[in-house]
Structure 1
Amino acid sequence: MKIKEVILRHMKLDLLHPFTTSFGTEYDREFILVEAISDDGISGWAESVAMLDPLYNEETVKTNWHILEDYLIPIVLKNEISHPDEISEKLFAHIRGNYMAKAAIEGAIWDLYAKQQNQSLSDALGGTKKEIEVGVSIGIQDSIDATLEVISARLEEGYKRFKLKIKPGWDVELIDKVRKVYPGIPLMADANSAYTLQDMDSLVALDDYQLMMIEQPLAYNDIIDHAELQAKLKTPVCLDESIHSLDDARKAIKLRSCKIINIKIGRVGGLTQSRKIHDLCKLHGIPLWCGGMLESGIGRAHNIAITSLPNFTLPGDTAASALYWAEDIIEPEVTVENGMIQVPNKPGIGYEPNMKNINKYTISTKIYKENL
């Protein structure tokens, strides 16, 4: 495979509703859309999930553009690529970090590769599922009553799992009231690193509510304190921000820092690394699920494909397009029926880019060609 051209588009989509977590509120989503075009004219698509500000991790839209433009795209344009695995394993191996930038260009090439092989991206990755269970992530609301209203609406739409964002002061009372109204729903809490071991009492108190898991309660770069916390909790700890690589996952499993791992393709550096972490976790009996980063339909399509692998046994965050956007940038949009998404069987990501909407929501575009 020879990549002859890469196009970066700076996109902006307005969220239908503000999304609040322990580190702030998002009203819109700015991101980089990547299109990689081969010498036979096939396009592959992916997106960077980096945020505008370095809140979730150190990467941003601007730093991703810089790394893509000055380092990653030149490497891709000057090398023949026989398989997408070569990108992270060989071509980008000398470049430290910048996992979201790496994942964005690698994901576009995975889509392109699958199309060239006349395979769905799911099949190219080794996926086995024809449909996937999905849950929904519910941001911090203005009140507990407002949270209950959102849960009620999402229940009617058939979602299989409910993730509530928590932070100190917005945790035990919230979960207690939700459990009293909805005693049987699959429920989890996501702290986005808002706690320390000094908050042990509040976290242990959540053991009374039969949660599926508590996601990333402690520091974003920690696996040591999480091991201490997990030893004192009956509720499984799920690691998110702490897992950036296969080696991070190996260490967390060895230290017993968690019982569940969330994979976000961008956070771990791409689909190849996601698949490696999947295989390691399967070997050790650690269940997986796929997290979300408020992706457009392009990113959601990649999440659907990776979730089709067999050890993604818990419902992920890949909700329907219509929950977030007035209109998405793919055709058809991602839809959920009875809490399930059908895994596309068309070549590549299985959704067509909606060029009218892509052009409508593009802030700027830059084209890169070899020797230019």
Structure 2
Amino acid sequence: MTIQLERIQLHNLKMQLKKPFKTSFGTLENKEFYIIEAIDSYNNHGYGESVAFTSPWYTEETVKTNLHMMKDFLIPLIHENQFSHPGEIHKIFLPVKRNNMAKAALEGAIWDLYAKKKNIPLSRAIGGSKKKIEAGISIGIKSTINELLHTINNSLEEGYKRIKIKIKPGWDVELLREVRRHFPETAIMADANSAYTLKDLEHLRQLDEFNLMMIEQPLAHNDIIDHAKLQSKLATPICLDESITSLEDARKAIELGSCKVINIKIGRVGGISEAIRIHDLCKENNIAVWCGGMLEAGVGRAHNIALATLSNFVLPGDIAGSSHYWEQDIIQPEVAVKDGMINVPEKPGIGYDLDHEAISSFTSDVTTFDL
């Protein structure tokens, strides 16, 4: 049965984070993004969220390029093509190179719409089975080690199953040594966001003493070859993030031995459909995966929860509760973590109702496309 879309609306939102989030390549205080609303001829509404930042420091995409690609290329492709399942959107978008976050935002809205039409949770629509998922938390670079230690302690008291710490040259070995001294048994991983090169090999080998779950993306954002060389010299598992933008990237990284873990982000790989394919490939090759975060608001967070119900998401993801990032989220109820776990919603689609009053208060502009 063909999915007949009547219109797509792009809601431009800007929300202020509770606290600035600092990484090796910048500090974020506000998050601007789009909520994509897909409406069919039966007045069903599906929602997606764009995850690109205002500056191209994570990938080449930005909020403005997302708007350009959706408006001028991707929405016209949806209008020109018939489809009966959201899994077909990936193929429809193939003529447009990369721009994965723009593609994922639109595809996500159609996945939500599809699950609602089927009257099933999105998690079940994509093949997930878990009723609860483990929650980890990502902590940005702090002003002092004591501030970081305090934040870790608070996160553990809240029940988070894994702590991710951002590192960079000069904020790494001594930092992790102090963290391990205070938290010797805690599941800790380090995220470098491409801050190192192979010249730092001997320095990075010092991380092996800290029994880390993994070090995430230590080398260049588009590299898999040097990561293979580094992994052969490290006992600590390497996790690839920015390097994996497609199923083909994952296949090549696995064949080269570039990593032992892959972080799957829906926006980075172009949507839920490609995320599922990467998940399946990793499962076949005994590569553990976990769901990464992009400081999403409630809609994007709900999509991440659904994805993390797939069977090979065996490590806690960056899916913290809404209240960790926002004074007020845009969904009801907000995502909550209890004893380190998130209950997977059972309602159709993403499983959360949108708080339209909150959305309106954060929205600066709405663009409508009739199809």
Q: Same fold (TM over 0.5)?
A: yes
What is the correspondence of 1:1-372 to structure 2 with a 5 Å cutoff?
Answer: 1-89=3-91, 91-370=92-371
Measured after TM superposition, the shift of residue 80 of structure 1 is 2.6
Measured after TM superposition, the shift of residue 9 of structure 1 is 1.0
C-alpha separation in 2, matches of 1:201 and 1:327? 45
Q: Residue type of the partner of 1:33? A: I
**1:192-248, CA deviations, whole angstroms, 9 ceiling, x for partnerless residues?**
000001111221000000000000000000000000000000000000000000000
**1:109-141, CA deviations, whole angstroms, 9 ceiling, x for partnerless residues?**
000000000110000000011000010000000
C-alpha separation in 1, matches of 2:122 and 2:205? 41
Measured after TM superposition, the shift of residue 95 of structure 1 is 1.0
SS in 2 for 1:247: helix
Measured after TM superposition, the shift of residue 79 of structure 1 is 2.9
**1:158-185, CA deviations, whole angstroms, 9 ceiling, x for partnerless residues?**
0000000000000001100000000000
Q: Residue type of the partner of 2:204? A: L
C-alpha separation in 2, matches of 1:116 and 1:219? 42
SS in 2 for 1:273: helix
Measured after TM superposition, the shift of residue 287 of structure 1 is 0.4
Q: Residue type of the partner of 2:273? A: T
C-alpha separation in 2, matches of 1:340 and 1:80? 39
SS in 2 for 1:30: strand
SS in 2 for 1:338: coil
SS in 1 for 2:319: coil
Measured after TM superposition, the shift of residue 78 of structure 1 is 3.4
C-alpha separation in 2, matches of 1:342 and 1:134? 10
Q: Residue type of the partner of 1:43? A: H
Measured after TM superposition, the shift of residue 363 of structure 1 is 1.3
SS in 2 for 1:77: helix
What is the number of residues matched between the two proteins?
369
Equivalent pair of 1:2/1:79 in contact (CA under 8 Å)? no
SS in 2 for 1:335: coil
Tell me the TM-score normalized by structure 2.
0.99
CA-atom RMSD, angstroms? 0.6
Measured after TM superposition, the shift of residue 77 of structure 1 is 2.6
C-alpha separation in 2, matches of 1:270 and 1:131? 22
Tell me the TM-score normalized by structure 1.
0.99
**1:88-126, CA deviations, whole angstroms, 9 ceiling, x for partnerless residues?**
02x111111000000000000000000000110000000
C-alpha separation in 2, matches of 1:211 and 1:52? 32
C-alpha separation in 2, matches of 1:282 and 1:40? 38
Q: Residue type of the partner of 1:187? A: I
C-alpha separation in 2, matches of 1:181 and 1:170? 17
Gap regions ≥5 residues in structure 1: none
SS in 1 for 2:75: helix
C-alpha separation in 2, matches of 1:334 and 1:223? 34
Q: Residue type of the partner of 1:283? A: E
C-alpha separation in 2, matches of 1:80 and 1:269? 20
Equivalent pair of 1:2/1:77 in contact (CA under 8 Å)? no
